[in-house]
Amino acid sequence: MSTQSKTKREGPYPLTVHMAKAMGQGPLSTTEFLRGVKLYQNHPYKRTIQRDVVYEDKGTELRYLAPDQDAGQVSDQAVLLIPSLINTSDILDLTEERSFMAWLAAQGFHVFLLDWGQVARQTDHLKTIDMAVDHIKEIIDVARGHSAMQSGKITVLGYCMGGTLLAGCLAKYGKICDQAVFLATPWDFHAAEHDLKTQISLGQMTAYDLMSAEHVLPSRWIQNCFFAVSQDKAVDKFIGFGAMDQSAAEAELFVAVEDWLDSGLDLPEAIAKSCIEQWYRDNLPCKGEWIIGADAARAEDIIVRSLILASSKDRLVPAAIAKRLAGDIPSADWIDTNIGHVGMMVGRRAQENVWQPILDWITKTSLS
């Protein structure tokens, strides 16, 4: 569903870098790019989805969607979705037509979605990696104890950075859920000299200067890193958007995805430094040396049955970065989705290549 938007968008971010890239492709590309950007900025689409909030804690929300009573069989199980900290949770519940959350509910599951809120602006609630990991434990307990959950059986899915935090949580706390799914989850940060690792290394000095001045890592720094990884497609996608029927569902989906990409969130300074130093620089999770609390969080200590999905087409978290997790968790299955990072949730083949395999795995594993 969409409504008329009253505010012109300012993105895509970083707009000046996008513009420079377009100009480098020549006058025709620049003209077509600017047309696509103008259409995007003025498009009437606006996200209107609202879900029940069953728990709030200092800016964090736990959203809930009951199983569709028209589903073939209503399950007594739940799925809890854990997004990354660097964007809003909307990618997991983007539009009524392209929502993983709603699709799971349509299959008969109770579905919970964690929304981290403006993490960097919260007082002292989620300032460190340890706090974020502990908060996932709290959220799992809340979801298990929800009045709709008679069986208490729950599968927890972590997407991207949310998956890394979930792995740390399960390594620390043991069997606090029944099954775990890790989607595009980085673990062996040195498995390949991938573009995002390169950009983070190149931009580290700038990141630390920004954090020294602002005490958060601004989303604009993160967005610059992501742009650098996918800059060869950044201009062309807006040129393609300009050629679309602007009233079509395809155009609305494009705008919804871009709005989500532009909704980047600042990271608390301590969390940002942990990601830059402990993850991308020192590769501590893979080495079994990532300390959470007083102990190392090792993948081999994860005792719940797990499914790891990643893709060789993912530029942000290439399959090699995620596959080590499948090898280290004692009881894990592996699927190569063959879809890009964002496409795993909202692409044309998301349901076929990602959503349905996850559902099949949850169903099969819960019966075994």
CATH number, domain with residue 289? 3.40.50.1820
Q: Is 338 left (phi over 0), alpha (psi -120 to 50) or beta?
A: left
Distance CA 344, CA 124 (A): 33
For residue 243, being part of any structural domain is answered with: no
Q: What are phi and psi of 70, to 5 degrees?
A: -90, 0
Q: Coil, strand or helix: which one is 7?
A: coil
Q: For residue 72, what pLDDT is reported? A: 66
DSSP string, 39-60: HHHT---------EEEEEETTE
Amino acid at 327: G
Residue 225 makes CB contacts below 8 A (sequence gap 6+) with 196, 199, 200, 203
For residue 85, being part of any structural domain is answered with: yes
Longest Cα–Cα distance of the chain, Å, equals 62
Q: For residue 213, what pLDDT is reported? A: 92
Q: For residue 368, what pLDDT is reported? A: 65
For residue 290, being part of any structural domain is answered with: yes
Pull the structure tokens for residue 339: 């879809």
Tokens 């893709």 belong to residue: 311
Assess contact for 96 and 68: CB atoms under 8 A: no
Pull the structure tokens for residue 177: 């859920």
CA torsion sign, 135 to 137 to 140 to 145?
negative
For residue 35, being part of any structural domain is answered with: no
Domain count of the chain? 1
Distance CA 198, CA 201 (A): 5
Range of the domain at 303: 52-195+266-367
Q: Coil, strand or helix: which one is 183?
A: strand
Distance CA 190, CA 175 (A): 28
Q: Coil, strand or helix: which one is 252?
A: helix
Distance CA 126, CA 231 (A): 32
Pull the structure tokens for residue 291: 């300390």
Q: For residue 4, what pLDDT is reported? A: 44
For the chain, where are the alpha helices, taking DSSP H only?
Answer: 15-24, 27-41, 100-106, 129-144, 161-173, 195-202, 204-214, 219-242, 249-261, 269-273, 284-287, 319-328, 343-346, 350, 356-367
Q: For residue 71, what pLDDT is reported? A: 66
Distance CA 228, CA 269 (A): 22
For residue 204, being part of any structural domain is answered with: no
Q: For residue 1, what pLDDT is reported? A: 41
Per-residue pLDDT of the chain (368 residues; tens, 9 = 90+): 444 445 689 889 878 888 888 888 888 788 999 999 999 999 999 999 999 999 998 889 999 999 987 766 767 889 999 999 999 999 999 998 999 999 999 999 999 999 999 887 766 778 999 999 999 999 999 999 886 766 778 999 999 999 999 999 999 999 999 999 999 999 999 997 778 999 999 999 999 999 999 899 999 999 999 888 888 788 899 999 999 999 999 999 999 999 999 988 999 999 999 999 999 999 999 999 999 999 999 999 999 999 999 999 999 999 999 999 999 999 999 999 999 999 999 999 999 999 999 999 999 887 66
Q: For residue 47, what pLDDT is reported? A: 92
Candidates 49, 73, 84, 46; CA nearest to 63 is 49
Quick: pLDDT tens for 307-357: 999 999 999 999 999 999 999 999 999 999 999 999 999 999 999 999 999
For residue 130, being part of any structural domain is answered with: yes
Question: What rounded mean pLDDT belongs to the chain?
Answer: 91
pTM of the model: 0.94
For residue 225, being part of any structural domain is answered with: no
